[in-house]
């Protein structure tokens, strides 16, 4: 029912009780002018509210789903007003002559106004929190001569829940008030003169809703308002594919701070052992991705999907005879794995329903038993461990006519060869079956437990329980590298720039393009020239360890270059580099949920390592890498060198280098490194993350740190730290290592916090921070400083100076009086 031309402009509708039934009164330019100037009449400002403003407003974000948009309703809205002389609908048109519904009321001169406008029923479509966006203009009471006593500058919005689309109530007390709506900008006579309208936008939300729908109501108590549009919507996190998992359209939760945990399902041909999840925020944003899917072996990731081998394209005809056609072809461009065989489908042209399928391990076949002088259509597809790819396009070839003598002769050797090959194949198959039967018989007699074990370079591995194998247990370390790391051709690597310095040489970023795989951004660690055999062994030791791991929160090894120089280790590229530097650079930039997401990732990686029986020994934010999606991955795996190359590692009295500030007391005292000592270090990493890369124990000396920790002191909570996180840190720093949480418990606890973000709202109380701070910095001795500021600066706590002053601790004497209580 679009307006059919200028004649449709300025149609005015008035209400009957049943809504929208009144007669249409054509308006004229004169009536418009009168309305602008007289507050006694309903003002037709909306025609000036100008389409330009409305046009820009029509598009709503993809995370919002409209339940009602009065601007897009062409016909009758079905809203009703009471009393009937209160709100009026003014039917206007936009620049495309499409009708716009506006509602106006302007009874500013009359006392005791109570004008209601009720919408028709709005289904909430399953949403439990809905948003109402109002666009309106409101006249400034000061600009109304004589109206000051009665004129109002607000109106009220109400709702009434109902399962019944015909259950509109007319009793005011059945409606629940949403809010009083005031204008940010009201307009005056002057604005009218300039024909500039000040359009206000106000959004309110209502929830949780429990019925199928609701009615809205607008109550005017004596203002001069034009309600230009009403948009009712809910928010959803729109369906996305992230990390090869599909997350469905998800309606946001009823609570404005709620994060809904949503499980993703792996796209076709992908699998996961860390099920992907994301969290849908009340704002319709996907947050904190956890886990991921990976393409099955033989599939390649491309634009969020996994595809099997690409189609065979290059098919060439070989010998063609009256009853046979020979073909050959090249391997597909992207085989995405080892091609196990080809399937060839062929049929006589136009006889597609009667086709033949043959299989071949070679990239060639001869189709036999064909009719002479007939066109045959061939299609070929490749199979890898992942399954079949798609068929190639159709290739057509024609057999020769019956009288082509040479063709017959050409068949003779083929037939001879075929018969011979057939006989040989038959013999091989029979032999294979017989030997297989013998194997089956002897296996049946084996101990079933023994059968489950695989012997793997002298190490017993149980399927399903993968354990870490220390490369030291190999007599020849080169064997370990080649067992766990793939050899990469140096020519497939392009080095782009130097990004860091490792113990053995430079670390560069670059690209890796291996045959049949898509190009990847990678980090390349190089072994500097002039290395000793031990250095080479130690350097490649990291790859032998890394190559055993396969987890989204552990840095992934692409392979090694050992057959040419320089020797290189190639890993996935982490755009944001090491976590400590990244956090320092972005101080204060992340939400608590983002920080907890990072910690969750690190804990999941560590859980995987501890399940594999690997103890990291040097877990610290500097050894975590972070990518552009803020996914954190544990890195820096080494043999004896683990602690040798860490600038934080210091020699202990028992010899051996240890990164004191990150290490559990039992590991420092008697080198008891276990997953429980990794948990202690994890607590320090939590502290580093929440304090955006602050140095643990600031400038205290290592000796002071060891002493303080032994005496029971612990790092104070970082600024603005959720109490639940600080409690986890303290749990990780239990003296008794058996009392510390395990990594799987940490992952579960962090997941719970992510699911219930309101649990992160309680922060550690500042005054208790200050008192613990004083206690824990006892070894530094506040008595040694002249002013509170100087002392706090020395312990890198200068930012708390103001808090001290505000609380009356302005001199060192006063500070010295502070007790823990
Ligand atoms: P590392 O020898 O492993 O400590 O690496 C030295 C530095 O190189 C790190 O601190 C990072 O800044 C950088 N780096 C190492 N590996 C990667 C990677 N996979 N992606 C991005 N940067 C890396």
Can you tell me the mean pLDDT for 304-328?
A: 87
Can you tell me the mean pLDDT for 729-740?
A: 96
- 384 CA to centre of ligand 1 in angstroms: 35
pLDDT at residue 625 is higher than 90: yes
- 505 CA to centre of ligand 1 in angstroms: 11
Nearest CA to ligand 1 atom 7: 500
pLDDT digits (tens, 9 = 90+) for 588-623: 999 999 999 999 999 999 999 999 999 999 999 999
Ligand 1 pocket, Cβ-based, cut-off 6 angstroms = 499-500, 502, 507, 523, 555, 571-574, 577-578, 625, 635-636
pLDDT at residue 648 is higher than 80: no
pLDDT digits (tens, 9 = 90+) for 795-804: 656 767 777 7
Choice from 499, 505, 620 to test ligand 1 binding pocket (greatest atom count within 8 A of CB): 499
CA distance 347 to 371: 11
Partners of residue 261 on adjacent β-strands: 279
Choice from 525, 584, 625, 632 to test ligand 1 binding pocket (greatest atom count within 8 A of CB): 625
CA distance 394 to 346: 9
Q: Could you identify the atom of ligand 1 that is nearest to the CA of residue 574?
A: 20
DSSP, res 563: S
Residue with more model confidence, 671 or 747: 747
Kindly name the residue from 140, 191, 220, 618 that is annotated as catalytic. Answer: 618
CA distance 395 to 212: 58
- 637 CA to centre of ligand 1 in angstroms: 12
Q: What is the pLDDT of residue 355?
A: 86
Nearest CA to ligand 1 atom 17: 523
pLDDT at residue 565 is higher than 70: yes
Count CA within 13 A, CB hemisphere, residue 816. 10
Residue with more model confidence, 415 or 709: 709
Token duo for residue 45? 């400002």
Residue pair 77/69 in contact by the 8 Å Cβ criterion: no
Q: Residue 38 — very low, low, confident or very high, per pLDDT cuts 50/70/90?
A: very low
Tell me the pairing of strands 300-302 and 341-348: unpaired
pLDDT at residue 744 is higher than 90: yes
Residue with more model confidence, 642 or 451: 642
Token duo for residue 326? 């020979």
Can you tell me the mean pLDDT for 175-185?
A: 92
CA distance 342 to 429: 20
Q: Could you identify the atom of ligand 1 that is nearest to the CA of residue 573?
A: 20
Q: Residue 778 — very low, low, confident or very high, per pLDDT cuts 50/70/90?
A: very low
Q: What is the pLDDT of residue 646?
A: 67
Q: What is the pLDDT of residue 654?
A: 52
Q: Residue 582 — very low, low, confident or very high, per pLDDT cuts 50/70/90?
A: very high
Q: What is the pLDDT of residue 192?
A: 59
Nearest CA to ligand 1 atom 23: 577
Q: What is the pLDDT of residue 409?
A: 38
Can you tell me the mean pLDDT for 477-492?
A: 90
Predicted TM-score (pTM) of this structure = 0.51
Q: What is the pLDDT of residue 304?
A: 80
pLDDT digits (tens, 9 = 90+) for 427-470: 433 333 333 322 222 222 222 222 222 222 223 333 344 788 88
> What are the DSSP calls for 471-512, one per residue?
GGGSSSHHHHHHHHS-B--GGGEEEEEEEEE-SSSEEEEEEE
- 485 CA to centre of ligand 1 in angstroms: 19
Nearest CA to ligand 1 atom 15: 507
Q: Compute CA distances 633 → 154, 630, 752, whole Å.
A: 54, 10, 21
Q: Check residue 466 and give left, alpha or beta (phi > 0: left; psi -120 to 50: alpha).
A: beta
**CB neighbours of 91 closer than 8 A, spacing ≥ 6?**
10, 11, 12, 13, 24, 99, 100, 101
Can you tell me the mean pLDDT for 96-121?
A: 87
- Residue 418: CB atoms within 10 A of its CB come to 14
For the ranges 453-467, 637-651, 687-701, the maximum mean pLDDT occurs at 687-701
pLDDT digits (tens, 9 = 90+) for 39-82: 333 333 333 333 323 333 334 456 899 999 998 887 788 899 99
Token duo for residue 593? 């949920």
CA distance 271 to 292: 9
DSSP, res 41: S
Nearest CA to ligand 1 atom 10: 578
- SS3 call for 265: strand
Q: Compute CA distances 599 → 384, 407, 620, 655, 745, whole Å.
A: 38, 73, 12, 32, 13
For the ranges 14-18, 107-111, 192-196, 662-666, the maximum mean pLDDT occurs at 662-666
Q: Residue 4 — very low, low, confident or very high, per pLDDT cuts 50/70/90?
A: very low
Q: What is the pLDDT of residue 98?
A: 65
Is the sign of the CA dihedral 541, 544, 550, 555 positive or negative?
A: positive
Q: What is the pLDDT of residue 353?
A: 77
Closest Cα to residue 261, out of 270, 252, 274?
252
Average pLDDT across the chain, whole number = 78
Q: Residue 478 — very low, low, confident or very high, per pLDDT cuts 50/70/90?
A: confident
Q: What is the pLDDT of residue 97?
A: 66
Q: What is the pLDDT of residue 651?
A: 61
Question: What is the percent of the chain where pLDDT is above 90?
Answer: 45
- SS3 call for 145: coil
- 144 CA to centre of ligand 1 in angstroms: 70
Q: What is the pLDDT of residue 295?
A: 85
- 668 CA to centre of ligand 1 in angstroms: 26
pLDDT at residue 785 is higher than 90: no
618 counts as catalytic: yes
**CB neighbours of 518 closer than 8 A, spacing ≥ 6?**
300, 301, 302, 334
**What CA dihedral angle connects 722, 725, 727 and 732, to 10 degrees?**
-160
Can you tell me the mean pLDDT for 577-581?
A: 97
CA distance 641 to 536: 12
pLDDT digits (tens, 9 = 90+) for 227-248: 999 999 999 999 988 889 999 9
Can you tell me the mean pLDDT for 266-283?
A: 87
CA distance 629 to 55: 35
- 524 CA to centre of ligand 1 in angstroms: 9
CA distance 454 to 466: 11
Q: What is the pLDDT of residue 767?
A: 52
The reply, when asked if residue 525 is annotated as ligand binding, is yes
DSSP, res 455: E
Nearest CA to ligand 1 atom 5: 502
**What CA dihedral angle connects 522, 523, 528 and 534, to 10 degrees?**
-100
- Residue 596: CB atoms within 10 A of its CB come to 24
Token duo for residue 260? 């809904």
Q: What number of helices (H) and strands (E) belong to the chain?
A: 18, 42
Largest CA-CA distance found in the chain, in angstroms, rounded = 118
Q: Could you identify the atom of ligand 1 that is nearest to the CA of residue 635?
A: 3
Q: Could you identify the atom of ligand 1 that is nearest to the CA of residue 503?
A: 2
Least confident of 125-134, 152-161, 334-343: 334-343
Residue pair 521/543 in contact by the 8 Å Cβ criterion: no
Angle (nearest 5°) at CA 555 between 551 and 557 = 95
Nearest CA to ligand 1 atom 8: 500
Residue pair 325/317 in contact by the 8 Å Cβ criterion: yes
Residue with more model confidence, 451 or 381: 381
DSSP, res 339: -
Angle (nearest 5°) at CA 516 between 514 and 522 = 30
Residue found under tokens 């809010």:
179
Q: Could you identify the atom of ligand 1 that is nearest to the CA of residue 555?
A: 19
pLDDT at residue 212 is higher than 90: yes
For the ranges 395-404, 492-501, 725-734, 792-801, the maximum mean pLDDT occurs at 725-734
């Amino acid at each position: 029912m679009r307006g059919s031309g200028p004649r449709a402009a300025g149609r005015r509708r008035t209400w009957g009780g049943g809504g929208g039934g009144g007669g249409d009164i054509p308006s004229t330019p004169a009536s418009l002018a009168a309305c602008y100037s007289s507050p006694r009449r309903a003002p037709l400002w909306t025609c000036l509210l100008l389409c330009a403003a409305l046009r820009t407003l029509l598009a709503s974000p993809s995370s919002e789903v409209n339940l009602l948009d009065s601007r897009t309703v062409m016909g009758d809205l079905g809203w009703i007003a009471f009393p009937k002389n209160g709100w009026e609908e003014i039917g206007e048109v936009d620049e495309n002559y499409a009708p716009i519904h506006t509602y106006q009321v302007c009874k500013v001169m009359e006392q005791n106004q109570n004008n209601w406008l009720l919408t028709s029923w709005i289904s909430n479509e399953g949403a439990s929190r809905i948003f109402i966006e109002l666009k309106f203009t409101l006249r400034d009471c000061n600009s109304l001569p004589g109206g000051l006593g009665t004129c109002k500058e607000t109106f009220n919005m109400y709702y009434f829940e109902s399962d019944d689309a015909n259950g509109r109530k007319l009793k005011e007390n059945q409606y629940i008030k949403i809010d009083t709506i005031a204008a940010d900008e009201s307009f005056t006579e002057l604005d009218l003169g300039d024909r500039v309208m000040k359009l206000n936008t106000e959004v309110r939300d209502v929830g949780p809703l429990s019925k199928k729908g609701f009615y809205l109501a607008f109550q005017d108590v004596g203002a001069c308002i034009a309600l230009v549009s009403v948009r009712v919507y809910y928010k959803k996190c729109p369906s996305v594919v992230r990390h090869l998992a599909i997350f469905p359209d998800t309606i946001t939760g009823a609570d404005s701070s709620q994060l809904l945990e949503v499980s993703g399902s792996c796209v076709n041909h992908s699998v996961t052992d860390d099920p992907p999840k994301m969290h849908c925020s009340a704002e319709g944003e996907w947050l904190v991705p956890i886990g991921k899917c990976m393409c099955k072996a033989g599939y390649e990731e491309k634009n969020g999907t996994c595809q099997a081998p690409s189609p065979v394209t290059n098919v060439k005809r070989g010998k063609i005879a009256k009853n046979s056609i020979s073909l050959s072809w090249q391997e597909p461009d992207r085989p995405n794995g080892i091609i196990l065989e080809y399937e060839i489908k062929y049929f006589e042209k136009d006889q597609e329903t009667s086709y033949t399928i043959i299989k071949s391990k070679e990239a060639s076949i001869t189709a036999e038993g064909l009719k002479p002088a007939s066109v045959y259509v061939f299609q070929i597809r490749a199979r890898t461990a992942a399954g079949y790819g798609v068929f190639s396009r159709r290739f057509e070839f024609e057999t020769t006519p019956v009288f082509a003598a040479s063709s017959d002769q050409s068949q003779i050797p083929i037939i001879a060869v075929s018969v011979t090959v057939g006989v040989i194949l038959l013999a091989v198959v029979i032999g294979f079956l017989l030997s297989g039967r013998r194997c089956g018989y002897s296996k049946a007699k084996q101990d079933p437990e023994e059968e489950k074990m695989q012997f793997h370079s002298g190490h017993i591995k149980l399927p399903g329980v993968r354990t870490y194998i220390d490369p030291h247990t190999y007599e020849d370390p080169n064997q370990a590298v080649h067992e766990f790391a793939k050899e990469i051709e140096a020519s497939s690597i392009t080095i782009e720039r130097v990004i860091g310095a490792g113990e053995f040489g430079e670390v560069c970023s670059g690209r890796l393009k291996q045959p049949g795989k898509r190009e990847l951004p990678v980090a390349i660690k190089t072994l500097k020239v002039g290395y000793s055999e031990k250095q080479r062994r130690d350097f490649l030791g990291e790859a032998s360890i890394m190559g055993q791991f396969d987890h989204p929160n552990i840095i992934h090894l692409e392979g090694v270059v050992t057959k040419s120089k320089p020797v290189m280790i190639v890993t996935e590229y982490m755009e944001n580099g090491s976590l400590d530097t990244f956090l320092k650079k972005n101080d204060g930039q992340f939400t608590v949920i983002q920080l907890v997401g990072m910690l969750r990732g690190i804990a999941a990686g560590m859980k995987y390592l501890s399940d594999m029986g690997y103890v990291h020994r040097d877990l610290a934010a500097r050894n975590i890498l972070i990518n552009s999606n803020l996914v954190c991955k544990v890195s820096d795996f080494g043999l004896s060198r683990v602690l040798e190359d860490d600038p934080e590692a210091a020699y202990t009295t028992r010899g051996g280098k240890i990164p004191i500030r990150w290490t559990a007391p039992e590991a420092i005292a008697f080198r008891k490194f276990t997953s429980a000592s990794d948990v202690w270090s994890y607590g320090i990493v939590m502290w580093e993350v929440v304090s955006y890369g602050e140095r643990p124990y600031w400038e205290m000396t290592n000796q002071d740190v060891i002493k303080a920790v032994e005496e029971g002191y612990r790092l104070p909570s970082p600024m603005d730290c959720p109490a639940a996180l600080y409690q986890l840190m303290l749990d990780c720093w239990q003296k008794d290592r058996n009392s510390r949480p395990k990594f799987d418990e940490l992952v579960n606890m962090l997941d719970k916090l992510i699911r219930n973000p309101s649990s992160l709202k309680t922060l550690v109380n500042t005054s208790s921070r200050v008192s613990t701070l004083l206690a824990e910095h006892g070894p530094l001795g506040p008595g040694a400083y002249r002013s509170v500021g100087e002392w706090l600066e020395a312990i890198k706590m200068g930012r708390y100076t103001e808090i001290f002053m505000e609380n009356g601790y302005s001199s060192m004497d006063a500070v010295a009086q502070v007790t823990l209580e």
